[in-house]
């Protein structure tokens, strides 16, 4: 069982409170929903599009199936398969999430803060 971090912050989303770690990641990914994602994106001044939501759905499905967050290269491959022949999945990803995989995509999609990460 994962222990709770020492520095817990809370975020109010509608009528409920969601616990986050000191970096703003959800402590419990099961507390994530679209309202939480929208609140987290708003904190970063990120306007979510259908492309963002498709990535979040992919990441959440990967988490449900494998019990861990998808590595960035899987998300890049997902975007490659969705197909914009003019851009790679990695290029498209960084247009959508300019502050990166961990800092934006993982955080907004409700993943726990990774300890170490490959960015692809």
* Domain parsing of the chain, residue ranges: 32-108
Considering only CA atoms, which of 52, 88, 58 is closest in space to residue 71? 58
- In this model, does residue 5 exceed pLDDT 70? no
Average pLDDT of the segment spanning 54-69: 94
- Report the b/e string of 62-98 with b at 16+ CB within 10 A: bbeeeeebbbbebbbbbbbeeeeeeeebbebbbebbe
Average pLDDT of the segment spanning 37-46: 95
**pLDDT score at 7:** 63
Q: What percent of the chain has pLDDT over 90?
A: 65
pTM over 0.75: yes
Q: Does domain 32-108 have CATH number 1.10.150?
A: no
């Amino acid at each position: 069982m994962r222990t709770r971090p020492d520095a817990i912050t809370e975020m109010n989303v509608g009528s409920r409170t969601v616990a986050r770690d000191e970096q703003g990641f959800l402590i419990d990914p099961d507390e994530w929903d679209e309202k939480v994602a929208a609140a987290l994106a708003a904190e970063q001044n990120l306007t979510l599009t259908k492309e963002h939501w498709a990535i979040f759905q992919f990441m959440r499905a990967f988490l449900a199936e494998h019990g861990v967050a998808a590595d960035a290269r899987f998300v890049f491959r997902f975007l490659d398969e969705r197909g914009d022949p003019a851009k790679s999945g990695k290029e498209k990803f960084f247009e959508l999430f300019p502050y990166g995989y961990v800092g934006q995509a993982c955080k907004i999609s409700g993943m726990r803060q990774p300890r170490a990460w490959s960015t692809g």
